[in-house]
Structure 1
Amino acid sequence: MTDATVSLVRAYYAAFNTQDAAGMLALLTEDVRHDINEGETQHGMEAFRAFLAHMDTHYREQAEDLVVMASGDGTRAAAEFTIHGTYLRTDDGLPDAHGQTYALPVGAFFDVRGGKIARVTNYYNLAAWTRQVAVGQADT
């Protein structure tokens, strides 16, 4: 079970890195729970689809240095990675976008049910992201 869960999460990030929204969605349960960093909890495939469309409009991102861990029974997983991105278009309530780049450590947590991802929870330091886009360059 652990290997299958690790492979599932790796496939999710492989689809993420190629901006393959359909590929990401295919790995989720219909009732997926999505805990947005410092934001709301959304439920369901349509909400996740809308979130991905929103993100694609405002950001171009790649998950690098991915490490995935899973519980022995395969029902839970965690991923740690660095997100490298470009801020493409101003997002509501955030600084103005003009192509700034950023790099942030991210932690993500997953529930797995029936071979699909049933929960995605992401954590990163929004204040660090804001500082990076305010000065227009990624932290090194």
Structure 2
Amino acid sequence: MEPLQNRTEGNSIAIKNGDKTRNPFKPTGAFIGASWFALLAGVVGYCIGLWNADMQLNEKGYYFTILLFGLFAVISVQKSVRDRAEGLAVTDLYYGLSWFATIAAMVLLTIGLWNAGLARSEKGFYAMAFCLSMFSAIAVQKNTRDAKLFEDKEL
């Protein structure tokens, strides 16, 4: 796969739209907005669920910490995968630890929910809000990085 930063005007694909030329690799405003909305919906929904939950404070802290840990882990995975794809140096140790942290967050949430004394609907709510948050965090990180890449090129 060819790194994006090695693209030139001669080999990049552009879509003409009237007077403006748009690079198809640059994220659109709609996709950036949808990604941020999904991230906020997932995180805020998860936190509101925790706030209203009938659990002890230490249980709420556990689930909140798993959310933060998972968000950081998936962003780290996205960054290390993207760096490797672009030919930037990423150590095998960091790459492996980011994947381990991502999987650990998912496993810890699964174990916590499996053993929790919650209704199945509540367990499903937390699992879906967690998954939405993880996926959208990856999309937001990708969009942020892509937008920065094209912003630097336009200067």
TM over 0.5: no
Indicate the structure whose relative CO is greater, using CA pairs within 8 Å and at least 6 residues apart.
2
Q: TM-score, normalised by structure 1?
A: 0.26
Question: Which structure is higher in strand share?
Answer: 1
Structure number with bigger Rg:
2
Q: TM-score, normalised by structure 2?
A: 0.24
Question: Which structure is higher in helix share?
Answer: 2
